[in-house]
Chains A and B, each alone.
Chain A
Amino acid sequence: MTVEEIRVASDRPARARRASGAAAAPRTSRMTTKRHRAFYMFTAPWLVGFVLLTAFPMGYALWLSFTNFDAVSPHWHFVGLENYREALSDPLTRQSLGRTLLFTLISVPMTMIGGLILAVLVNRPLRARGLFRTLLYLPAVVPPVGTALTFKLVFDTNAGAANGVLDAFGMNAVTWLADPYARYVILMSVLWALGNTMIISLAGLQDIPRELQEASRIDGASAWRSFRSITLPLLSPVLLFQGVTGVIGALQTFMPLLLAADSSPAGTTSVPQDNYMYMINVFAQYFAYGRFGYASALLWILFAVIIAFTALIFKATSGAVFYNVDPEAKK
């Protein structure tokens, strides 16, 4: 078959479509309408949920952020940008944001690197590999409340197991649940859920073609060089995902911080200073201080911070993330 014959053959269906085009027009229109209707019907549950449970509450919080509403008094009024102005100058808010950013800077790389190391380890052909994977992932299944309670008991100054161990080595007890040690307990509780990042990294590792690793070995690459030049680039989209979701999650950390406090409105404010992070402050402003307007402004500021961080991460990694897809398909 010549090139010309191939071109004619491939053009035949198109000509046939053009020939029947006029007659098929109404039918196509009906099909399009039907498709649109199907699209909206299938997406409606999500759309309704999004409007009612996300868009409306966000809009309501935005409106509240311009008031001094306390949910009880009928004498509230609009205060314009006052809540935002106060938030930016309030030492409590700035300190809590600073602590949260520091916590994010430490905890996100820690969980990503820790998860990756575990994933690499359990991706090796080990005996009882499945058992190791299960055991390492198991803590991530425990609800955050359960983890907080467990940690509270383990790190109790007077009756906890942690001080029992110190005691066995002849060391003095440590007040784990108060400053300055509470921050380490929080980091330990973050490490406790390392299985989450491990399982995602493991999925990414298993997606990397084995031939590439084998080829590099045959070419004489060391294990580290192979990991650095093949595994990491191919895993970069997964790591980016973990980085973005990790940062968002860390900026919103709340439950693990209630280690030695009760979850009552005033109880949340008794967390150690080092653990008094942004969402604790937001919760306290809503329910302990009763400042719904101010707390809503704090939430919108956090929203802006999250957007900014996410954009920053995408910008900073734009050249470093390797997408193993056809560039045309990306369009």
Chain B
Amino acid sequence: MHARSLAPMDRRRFLGLSAGALGAAAVSGCALSVANGAGRDPVTVMASDGDFPPEMVQQAAEELDIRIDLVKYDPTRLTAMLASGQPPDLVRGLGALDTPYLVARDVAEDLDPYFAGSSILKADDLDPVNDLWRFDGQRQGAGPRYGMAKDFSQDSMFWYNRALFEQAGVDDYPPDDEPLTYEEWLDLGKRVVQQDGGRTTVYGMSCNGLSPVGNLMAITAAAGGSLFSEDLGRVDFSTPEARQALSWYLEYVQARVGPSLIDPDPNVWDGPTYQANRMAMSGNGYWFGGMVGGSSPEIATASRLAPAPVFAGKPRVSTCQAGTGFWMPRKAPHKDTAWRLFEWYMGEGPAQGRASGGWGIPTLKSLRSLMPGEQPFQEQSLRVQNAELEYFSVLSFTPYVRSTALDAVFNQVMPAAMRGDMSLDAAIGRLNDDMNHQMDLGKELVP
């Protein structure tokens, strides 16, 4: 009897305590959310590790009252999110290669109305590199803006390490104000490479760009041509300019002076190899200066930036192969909040931080004054870079296929030619056939 009369009391007490606990949890949860910027819709950002460091996420919460849900940049995951109709609000991308593909498939949001209403990202303050994020259906560099670069470089420029030149007994450094020709650059690479019993102890140079096809687009542009037809619907490596570019690249590979598909660098990219004092010249633009600055003081002191090479008698062209930045998917759930974050990231504190860090040229002209120039290598690279800006131009990529598909074809076809098992003509034929087949398949998916 006694026990039975107590039972309802216990339940009440239990329910009361539970409600109290839930209430307390809710209150503390709210407090936590507010501290993390839950005042607005949370913004899901797909970015690489260094794009949004934890302190920047915290800063966004405090300054903008926006909570950032970070998703690590992963093309496979992005594909899955797009396919499921639940994309992130902002996505990292390469303006130079991604824009036409995304626009042709109706996936990217037209940001012109947002730019028009922005007091931070003003049209006349935008660097021309941001035109990489424009596409009018016919060519890149015109039409609406679908994204913006966070920083950029002219990626055919190259860094060199004077100490390694001295080690090789070479004292004619690349000039600051006049570009080398591609032939001179390769010749220099052959002179500074250090080999021992079949092992390359110091690479003479590296010329692989950010992607194989992006790299060849840039070299072909330097030769005065284009890889793509006027309507961007075909690839043609048999034009004299594309052929010259491919032939030079094959010569570079066969000279065994730098990493390539048949002589891979296990580091996969130049950064760690350059920092290890094992690369005399690295084909990377101004942004690589951030990496140089993070190297040992000896390497930083010995490093210099050189203009993008040219082909003799051809106009000087210095392109951007990436234009890394962010775009907003059309089906992004929180567009307005995402745009506020976009504005802040591209034009306020984070943009100023990037500009002064030396990791690329700021994409707002008004931030150029923040670029670092204290150390000798920074002063020299800034001077060379500023002189290079006038040769910038936007190259159009095809909308019919993703750049990785063309890279994949290149990776499949070229090793045989690099080893000398396939003639240049045969390689050109295979590249044209296989790449154009991919583009034909892509055309079925574009209205």
Q: How far is the CA of A308 from the CA of B212 in the complex (A)?
A: 39
Q: Chain B contacts of A266 at CB under 8 A?
A: 211-212, 403-404, 407-408, 411
The stretch among A18-26, A49-57, A104-112, A168-176 that forms the contact with chain B is A168-176
Which residues 263-302 of B have a CB within 8 angstroms of A? 263-264, 266, 268, 278
A278 to B: closest C-beta gap in Å? 14
Residue from B197, B211, B401 with most neighbouring chain A CB atoms (10 Å): B197
Contact B79 A260 (CB under 8 A): no
Contacts A72-B82, A153-B266, A270-B411 aside, 16 further interface pairs with beta carbons under 8 A come to A70-B105, A71-B79, A72-B79, A72-B107, A73-B445, A75-B446, A75-B447, A152-B266, A157-B198, A157-B263, A159-B199, A175-B262, A178-B415, A264-B404, A289-B438, A290-B404
Cβ B445 vs Cβ A287 within 8 A: no
Main secondary structure of the interface of A (DSSP, over half): loop
Tell yes or no: B75 within 8 A of A by CB. Answer: yes
A158 touches B405 (CB 8 A): no
Proximity bits, B406-439, A CB within 8 Å = 1, else 0 = 0110011001100100000000000000000010
B178 adjacent to chain A (CB < 8 Å): no
Residues A248-299 near B (CB distance < 8 A): 260-262, 264-267, 269-270, 272-273, 276, 284, 286-291
- Determine whether the beta carbon of A157 is less than 8 Å from that of B411: no
Q: List 20 A-B contacts (CB under 8 A).
A: A68-B444, A72-B82, A73-B105, A157-B198, A158-B201, A159-B278, A175-B263, A178-B261, A178-B262, A260-B266, A261-B268, A269-B408, A270-B261, A270-B411, A284-B408, A288-B407, A288-B408, A289-B405, A290-B405, A291-B441
Task: Given A156-B266, A267-B268, A269-B411, verify A71-B82 contact (CB < 8 Å).
Answer: yes
Whether the Cβ atoms of A167 and B444 lie closer than 8 Å is no
- 4 residue pairs, one from A and one from B, having the closest CB atoms: A173-B198, A172-B198, A73-B445, A269-B408
A177 within 8 A of B: yes
A74 within 8 A of B: yes
Contact A179 B200 (CB under 8 A): no
Residue among A68, A75, A157, A284 making CB contact with B441, cutoff 8 Å? A68
Inter-chain contact A157/B268, CB cutoff 8 Å = no
Give the chain B neighbours of A289 by CB distance below 8 A. Answer: 402, 404-405, 408, 438
Please, how many angstroms separate the alpha-carbon atoms of A262 and B82 in the complex?
Answer: 24
Give the residues in chain A near B407, CB-CB below 8 Å: 266, 269, 288
Query: Is B119 part of the binding interface, using a Cβ–Cβ cutoff of 8 Å?
Result: no
Query: How far is the CB of A244 from the nearest CB of chain B, in Å?
Result: 30
Among B199, B211, B278, point to the contact of A167 (Cβ < 8 A). Answer: B199
Complex alpha-carbon distance, A181 and B258, angstroms: 19
A118-166 with Cβ < 8 A to chain B: 152-153, 156-160, 163
What separation, in Å, do the CA atoms of A59 and B101 have in the docked complex? 29
A92 on interface, CB distance cutoff 8 Å: yes
Q: Are A287 and B261 in contact (CB under 8 A)?
A: no
Given the interface pairs A72-B107, A266-B404, A272-B415, the reply to whether A290 lies near B79 with Cβ below 8 Å is: yes
The answer to whether B106 and A74 have CB atoms under 8 Å apart is yes
Chain B residues whose C-beta falls within 8 Å of the C-beta of A156 in the assembled complex: 266
Cα(A72)–Cα(B404), bound, Å: 14
Q: Which residues of A contact B419 (CB under 8 A)?
A: 179
Instruction: List the A side residues contacting B212 at CB < 8 Å.
Output: 266
Contact between A287 and B415 (Cβ–Cβ < 8 Å)? no
The answer to the question of B76 belonging to the interface, with a C-beta cut-off of 8 Å to chain A, is yes
Question: A76 within 8 Å of B by Cβ?
Answer: yes
Measured between beta carbons, the chain A residues less than 8 angstroms from B415 are 178-179, 272-273
Residues on the A chain within 8 Å of B200, using CB:
157-158
The answer to whether B83 has its CB under 8 Å from any CB of chain A is yes
- Beta-carbon nearest neighbor of A170 in chain B: B197
In the bound assembly, the distance between CA atoms of A284 and B83 in angstroms comes to 18
CA distance A68 to B441 in the complex (A): 8
- Report the separation of the CA atoms of residues A215 and B362 in the bound assembly, to the nearest whole angstrom: 84
